[in-house]
Amino acid sequence: MSDKKRLFSGIQPTGNITLGNYIGALRNFSTFQDEFDCIYCVVDLHSLTVRQNPAQLRKNTYELLALYLACGLDPAKSTLFIQSHVSEHAELAWILNTITYVGELSRMTQFKDKSSKHQDNINMGLMDYPVLMVSDILLYQTALVPIGADQKQHLELTRDIAHRFNTSYSDTFVVPEPFIPKAGARIMSLAEPTSKMSKSDENIKGFISLTDDDETIRRKLKSAVTDSGNEIVARDDKHGVTNLLTIYATLNNITMQEAEKAFVGVSYADFKMAVADIIIETIAPIRELKNEILADKGNLDKVLTDGAERARFMARKTLSKVYKKVGLIQR
């Protein structure tokens, strides 16, 4: 058994995986593989909280797994699996539901956002979504959780629930820490730079999908909202320019100051095309590799079977402990 610390993260296989998901989370995943015992999950059960087309959901799930591999996740180093393949996630969520307060869940920003967007479908799952996320994390005795800034509140809830269980029943769960990148933790919409870039945005000009072709990326950048004035600097009153500079700086692995320096005296139009170029340079190879990987379904299924088996072993261990502590009779 490895004595490395455990790391867990997940992405929903919902619609388009965006440049925001990539910069805020996915691109960092492979960098942890040597230092941590990494577990990366495709959280399909979470996706069901918003109505899905079943055939499309199945397709998106394989696509996301292929994307994980194309972004450098190595099944020999990391455990890669689909959430619904390990039933312990849903089982632990039930137990943790009994120590989570309705008030806590109704205060979650993402619940409030999503319920205002999907008023015809404010289902229990949408509200309970964070408890399933808490279970994902706590099942594996996770020490570190790489996420974008929008998931910070869910991590705080995870820590609260872990503490609560540990104090009510004795030490059981590791209390995890978030890993939120210093730059790029909140990439904004290209069309409305005061809102987060989101895969569910109805305005497709607002997000770059990792499957967009080069021409689409250039077109979306051309129409990206900038600000009045012509200076290319990061500033509180320049949301559009600051967002594009952040994308440019993170993808080039340079600081914001270095990015600003590169664009002194440059027009907005040329600046936007330089941003488009670095996006294309980064994601075109990933897109192509993902398509190659996707063509070998047999290999993907093998990765999933192996991953689920490894995950189930770890998850069962924690869940058995939990069942015993709360007073359930062991099977």
Q: Would you please indicate which residues are annotated as catalytic (active-site) residues?
A: 114, 196, 199
Q: Are 8 and 47 in contact (CB under 8 A)?
A: no
Tokens of 20: 């925001």
- The answer to the question of residue 178 lying near ligand TYM (CB under 6 A) is no
- The answer to the question of residue 240 lying near ligand TYM (CB under 6 A) is no
- The answer to the question of residue 24 lying near ligand TYM (CB under 6 A) is yes
Judging by beta carbons within 10 Å of its beta carbon (0-12, 13-18, 19+), is residue 125 exposed, middle or buried?
A: middle
Rule CB under 6 A: choose which of 38, 80, 126, 133 binds ligand TYM. Answer: 133
Question: Taking contact as CB under 6 A, which single stretch among the options 5-13, 241-249, 250-258, 271-279 is the one that binds ligand TYM?
Answer: 5-13
Q: What is the 3-state secondary structure (H, E, C) of 276-305?
A: HHHHHHHHHHHHHHHHHHHCCHHHHHHHHH
- The answer to the question of residue 147 lying near ligand TYM (CB under 6 A) is yes
What are the helix (H) ranges across the chain? 19-21, 27-29, 44-47, 54-70, 88-97, 102-106, 109-117, 124-138, 152-169, 214-222, 239-252, 256-262, 268-294, 297-326
Which candidate, 160, 167, 173, 12, places its Cα nearest to that of 92? 173
Single-letter code of the amino acid located at 205: K
Q: How far is the CB of 21 from ligand TYM (least distance, A)?
A: 4
Which candidate, 196, 176, 178, places its Cα nearest to that of 187? 196
Q: How far is the CB of 123 from ligand TYM (least distance, A)?
A: 16
Judging by beta carbons within 10 Å of its beta carbon (0-12, 13-18, 19+), is residue 172 exposed, middle or buried?
A: middle
Q: Interaction with ligand TYM in 196-215: which residues (CB under 6 A)? A: 196-197
- The answer to the question of residue 48 lying near ligand TYM (CB under 6 A) is no
Question: Taking contact as CB under 6 A, which single stretch among the options 6-14, 69-77, 165-173, 258-266 is the one that binds ligand TYM?
Answer: 6-14
Residue with Cβ nearer ligand TYM (7 or 294): 7
Single-letter code of the amino acid located at 149: A
Rule CB under 6 A: choose which of 6, 27, 114, 186 binds ligand TYM. Answer: 186
Question: Which residue's structure tokens are 């397709």?
Answer: 59
- The answer to the question of residue 137 lying near ligand TYM (CB under 6 A) is yes
Question: Taking contact as CB under 6 A, which single stretch among the options 120-128, 148-156, 246-254, 314-322 is the one that binds ligand TYM?
Answer: 148-156
Q: Interaction with ligand TYM in 96-125: which residues (CB under 6 A)? A: none
Tokens of 29: 């995943």
Rule CB under 6 A: choose which of 7, 12, 49, 280 binds ligand TYM. Answer: 12
- The answer to the question of residue 27 lying near ligand TYM (CB under 6 A) is no
- The answer to the question of residue 88 lying near ligand TYM (CB under 6 A) is no
Single-letter code of the amino acid located at 137: I
Question: Taking contact as CB under 6 A, which single stretch among the options 98-106, 142-150, 267-275, 301-309 is the one that binds ligand TYM?
Answer: 142-150
Residues lying near ligand TYM in the complex (CB under 6 A) are found at 8-12, 20-21, 23-25, 43, 46, 133, 136-137, 145, 147-148, 150-151, 185-187, 196-197
